[in-house]
Amino acid sequence: MNTTIPVSPSCCDETDPNSLTVEQALAKIDELISPVDETLNVGLQDALHAVLAEDVISPINVPPYRNSAMDGYAVRSEDLPTDDTASLRVVGTSWAGTPFEGKVKAGECIRIMTGAKMPDGADTVIMQEHVQREGDTLTLGTGHCAGQNVRHAGEDIARGKPVLQAGKHIGPAELGLLASLGVPTVTVKRKLKVAFFSTGDELRPVGEVLEEGQIYDSNRYSLFGMLKELDVEIIDLGVIPDDRQAVEDAFDRAAELADAVITSGGVSVGDADFVKETLDRLGTVNFWKIAMKPGKPLAFGKIREAFFFGLPGNPVSVMSTFYLFTQPALQRLMGQDKVGTLSLKVPCSEALKKRPGRTDYQRGILQRDERGNMTVRSVGKQASHILSGMSQANCFIVLPRESGNIEAGSLVEVMPFRGLM
């Protein structure tokens, strides 16, 4: 038999002419995905982490009335002294929730609390620390500005103005904002249903004893965690063995149940054959090689009506490809506006190994040095099965495709895993 052994790139060659860049893959995914249509009306607390399906127009002014920003005295700016001190008569009090009913006339003032309604006639608040009071007589000095310490009606939000746009993810600030408008319910996109399973004969569920050649199925747990944070409805279909019928049944079931199906493992060249065959029968799925590390193989497409993300099997690759491709795609499917990923340029405190050809997402630790400046360093071992590194890290160090080794002190791009909210 005359077999031709293809000239394969050596293991040192990172450049594969058939691979897609991260940006190309993202663009292809974006092209195919459009948001779910169904919406529902929910009470505010149930709207946390949902995506607004309609603009919210403010039915009121916020603040609803002119009020004091300080505990102090509400005065008329005409009565503010310019050279000497001035004395005013305290004629009443405005409490938060119990306004002063009368009008402040020349030579008069009232005691006022933070948030209390400004009385007619007065336009300025003097902090209580800046006056002297004896009985009903208030003495104030110079240096006050007309209009100070007053919050105006509609200063935050004016009645009739759009406050939040469709596509906005509802977080704690949005919940508070909506409540400040007195809005009891909002129309949001329905929750996404996401099914996922692991593939591989070597995988054992946690709680069982490992036999020779077996490992625990960790991907299903990191996937569960990442999906939980997106607040989707999770459908965990377990571990599916490397068996043609079992894989076909699992895909069939997942596509039936969910808007999106995520798998890990079984999409790299070696073992993709029957997965690929099955998917060709059930839908249209592309098998890509992405010029990134970790996470080279990625399958994306549709199984009937469901979107499909076939992530690589290696535990770190699952997380990097999920965060880079699946998470933004799911967010778009939920109808959420594009979320810009935070990235910073900081000096790397040590040299990093890198071969040109693929964009590296190395696991890094972003921290302040002794002088308070941000620097980043590697967690150490960078192979795609080292999941402990993902836990030690607080950021990806993103090294561009064509870049080679990084010298200590060079500026590198980092993507922090978390911000404040």
Enumerate binding residues for ligand AMP (CB under 6 A): 198, 200, 202-203, 215, 217-220, 264-266, 268, 271, 312-315
Residues 53 and 189: beta-carbon distance below 8 Å: yes
Q: How many residues would you count in the chain?
A: 421
Closer Cβ to Mg ion, 149 or 219, answer by number: 219
What is the CB-side half-sphere exposure of residue 126 using CA atoms within 13 A?
Answer: 27
Shortest separation between residue 21's beta carbon and Mg ion, angstroms: 26
C-beta separation of 113 from 107 below 8 A: no
Q: Which does residue 357 bind out of ligand AMP, Mg ion, none, counting CB within 5 to 8 angstroms by kind?
A: none
In the Cβ-directed half-sphere of 97, how many Cα atoms lie within 13 Å?
0
- Find residue 306's DSSP bridge partners: 303
Of residues 113 and 272, the one with the C-beta less far from ligand AMP: 272
268 binds, among Mg ion, ligand AMP, none (CB under 5 to 8 A by kind): ligand AMP
> Smallest distance from the beta carbon of 13 to Mg ion, in angstroms?
24
CB of residue 222 to ligand AMP, shortest distance in Å: 8
Q: Which of 200, 297, 301, 364 binds Mg ion (CB under 5 A)?
A: 200
Residue 217 Cβ vs ligand AMP, minimum distance, rounded to whole Å: 4
Amino acid at 190: R
Q: Of the two residues 73 and 197, which places its CB atom closer to ligand AMP in the complex?
A: 197
295 interface partner picked from Mg ion, ligand AMP, none, CB below 5 to 8 A per type:
none
Nearer to ligand AMP, 65 or 224 (CB): 224
Q: Which is nearer to ligand AMP, 268 or 278 (CB)?
A: 268
Residues 377 and 8: their CA atoms lie apart, in Å, by 34
Of the pair 125, 386, the CB lying nearest ligand AMP is at 386
Of residues 333, 308, 321, 221, the one with CA closest to residue 256: 308
Burial 182-194 (b: 16+ CB within 10 A, else e): ebeebbbbbbbbb
199 contact partners, CB below 8 Å, separation of at least 6 = 239, 240, 241, 242, 247, 250, 263, 264, 265, 266, 275, 313
Number of residues counted as binding Mg ion (CB under 5 A): 4
Does 301 bind Mg ion (CB under 5 A)? Our answer is no
Question: Which of these ranges, 10-18, 36-44, 265-273, 343-351, lies near Mg ion under the rule CB under 5 A?
Answer: 265-273
Q: Considering the complex, what minimum distance in angstroms separates the CB of residue 197 from ligand AMP?
A: 9
User: Considering beta carbons, is residue 68 or 263 the nearer one to ligand AMP?
Assistant: 263
**What is the residue whose two structure tokens read 């149940």?**
257
265 lines the binding site for Mg ion (CB under 5 A):
yes
H or E stretch covering 22 = helix 22-32
Binding-site ranges for Mg ion (CB under 5 A): 200, 265-266, 313
